[in-house]
Chains A and B, each alone.
Chain A
Amino acid sequence: MFLRLVADSFRRRPRHKLLTGAALALGMAVATAALSVSLDVGDRLSHEFRSLGANLLVTPQADSLPLEIGGVDYRPVNAGAYLPEADLPKIKTVFWHNNIIGFAPVLEVPVRAWTKSSETWITPIVDAPATVVGTWASHPVALSDGSAFSTGIERTNPWWHLEQGRWFSDSAGECVVGTKFSKRDGVKLGDTLNIEGPSQNIALKVTGIIASGGPEDDAIVAPLAIAQQLANKPGQYRRLYVSALTKPEDDFARRSPGTMTPDELERWSCSPYVSSIAYSIQQVLSGADVRVIRRVAEGEGRILTRVRTLLGLVTFAALLAAALAVGASSAASVMERRIEIGLMKALGAGPGMVGFLLAAEQLLLALAGGAMGYGLGILLARLVGERIFGAAPQPSLLVLVVIIGLAGGVTLLGSAIPLRRAARYEPAPILRGE
């Protein structure tokens, strides 16, 4: 009898049910979209922040003081210490290797460069002191598990734009030049640059022109191997930039690992704080000094924390609006059934029975509407995610559970107030139409 009543109610007033169901589904779709986007957005934003560039800098421990002005190191090649390139794959063996999204070794060599103006090298049109920045553009690093990890300056410094041409290939005698260098010295794509280094001369083909807004605009960027050859420092580099996904630092993260209890040390090293990643890299690279680039790491941490709170609040607002919409529509759908309730009561149904019947109907609707809303919401989240972040969030089962629960809870809550009033109805005046 109970089931028949419920089924009958759906059959008899399909338009009403459809309308309430649609409101429910739409509300839940918004809730689903808000939840999935905000669950996904944290990771996406951390990745986005990595376009700020490397947040860790590795230099030799035994180094002399760099004489660096405006990003150019004026030390002679034979001053200071170097680090071995062969150690680099070890970076991907640290505990946080999945968080390390890129690294690039750099070796700078002061050189003289000229292009040939004619068939002879005797009358150069350009003869300028310049810097060769040796690095990886996109270099496969063989890892211990047999796979290759492709990394280089393109990953750590994504703001280096190729204005023309392409990046050099790591094994060829090629280079790219900074835009200011190219303008000042009239170097064009396809030119051959003749480079006189401290220990030998090399001719490089210009394959591209880059703009970085930094000192590289005035430099020649070449494969690391070429710079090593020029400086006669085979297999060595001077600086390493590491870009790692990190958790914003809090007070706990800023403590020195030396002062922690074993428990605290474990908790510290099991959180991807930038300082604990620095610590773990320091452990695998012998003779290296790993420093956090504070400006980037702290700026990133601060903004990320704020943006996350902001997004949390926005999600909450969207959930609240969705809950209100659903609650209001289910309240309205109970209110309009006063006459039916009056009739049921006149026929001897108790308030409990009436409430139970209506609640069952609402729950059924919530279930159907919630499930439909979830499907719709995933589509909406995909749309929003793609438009704003360029990638769709993965559908998550957790969201489905939360949404069905929310739909049920909100409809019941929305119906509860009119149901309580309905319980007090006197059947006679209602049936008289008063």
Chain B
Amino acid sequence: MDPKQIAEIEVDVLLESIRLRYDYDFRHYARASLKRRVQNMLVKENLQMPYQLIPRILYDQSIFDRFLSEMSVTVTEMFRDPSFFEALQETVFPALKTYPFFKIWHAGCATGEEVYSLAILLKEAGLLDRARIYATDYNNHSLKIAKQGIYRSENFEDNTKAYQRAGGKNQLSDYYTQQYDAIKFKDSLKDNITFAYHNLVKDGVFGEMHLVVCRNVLIYFDKDLQNHALTLFDNSLARRGFLCLGSKETIDYSVLKNSFESQSRSNKIFRKNN
């Protein structure tokens, strides 16, 4: 057998071990990115081959926790793609305004920067009091950071610029307090946000949503798992609900292509048909 095929088997056996031991299923993650993460993990653990991880992960929960951190996408910024947030305000907010109360699911929120971005814009539109935002992730460590809402202040000049380009009406600094090299978002932003564990691979619908935001998560999934997650979003959304994906993600070739219409092609905002 070709050594490359054997290396693939090694990764398969590692993923199967993790699934059986910890009930996390990474088999339908996009393979090339997954293998990079495994490779990063090997370097950090001072190992050479994926098979060497198997006994360690099976018998040592702390190594699995580190693997989980390695696997979960934690690169996120405030107001990433300002044009998306601009379009969100123009396209989605007017529809949300027609509801006395509405629900938003932010799936794969990682460390929470985008959730706070969304909450700030809702507040400026006078909509935050009517909103319940469910921000979910499968990485409990990321969720803990998101819940605290404390971030290093070094990026905040960029964040302030992005906030302004996204159509922010005030000063970003109105929403946080600064201490030394950290900023903390005010509790008034958090009152309407519920941070919770949810794994798109195995967990189901938990409420009827008016808006689902899931950006730069699906690119890490293979076609099957993408369709699985999109079906979950479809089943979660109320009639005429909105779905927002990352700038390089689309429903065009998916199971949802006929049940949603595009509201902003470049900003990947889709709306559910009846």
Answer yes or no: are A and B bound together in one complex.
no
